[in-house]
């Protein structure tokens, strides 16, 4: 079955600390991978995506993610978190061709302490 797992429901970090949000997926074929961020009461904003090529992808707002095929993971990282990064983060996978139906993880809520 196709699925996306974000093991951490809540994460709290101090401002300036590093961050890693975990994402593991189960998918029958090579997927396309996405990270989205959602602020309270807002829609989703695309942070970054991986289609092919370099497995370390850079996104907006200083985020990066690394695709590890052997571990079926696509973890999101940021070296220094800002208070404005507090939000809900969703990992999603989709097919590399054909009908683009995204499968979302449950989300990780990030809190940032000053």
Partner 1 sequence: GAVVSQHPSWVICKSGTSVKIECRSLDFQATTMFWYRQFPKQSLMLMATSNEGSKATYEQGVEKDKFLINHASLTLSTLTVTSAHPEDSSFYICSALTSTDVQTQYFGPGTRLLVL
How would you label 55-84 residue by residue, b for 16+ Cβ within 10 Å and e otherwise? eebebeeebbbbbeeeebbbbbebeebeee
Choose between 1 and 99: whose C-beta lies nearer to partner 1: 99
CB of 9 to partner 1, least distance (A): 9
Choose between 13 and 44: whose C-beta lies nearer to partner 1: 44
CB of 94 to partner 1, least distance (A): 6
| Total residues at interface with partner 1 (CB under 8 A) | 24
CB neighbours (10 Å) of residue 96? 14
**91 class by beta-carbon count within 10 Å (0-12 exposed, 13-18 middle, 19+ buried):** buried
Considering only residues 26 to 85 of the shown chain, the ones binding partner 1 according to CB under 8 A are 32, 34, 36, 41-46, 49, 51
Verify binding: residue 96, partner 1, rule CB under 8 A. Answer: yes
Residues that bind partner 1 (CB under 8 A): 32, 34, 36, 41-46, 49, 51, 90, 94-96, 99-102, 104-107, 109
């Amino acid at each position: 079955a196709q699925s996306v797992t974000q093991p951490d429901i809540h994460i709290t970090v101090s401002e300036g600390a590093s961050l890693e949000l975990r994402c593991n997926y189960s998918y029958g074929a090579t997927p396309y991978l996405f990270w989205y961020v959602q602020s309270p009461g807002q829609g989703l904003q695309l942070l970054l995506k991986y289609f092919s090529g370099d497995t370390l992808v850079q996104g907006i707002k200083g985020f990066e993610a690394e695709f590890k095929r052997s571990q079926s993971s696509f973890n999101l990282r940021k070296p220094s978190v800002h208070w404005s990064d507090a939000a809900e983060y969703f990992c999603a996978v989709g097919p590399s061709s054909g009908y683009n139906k995204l499968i979302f993880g449950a989300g990780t809520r990030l809190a940032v302490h000053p």
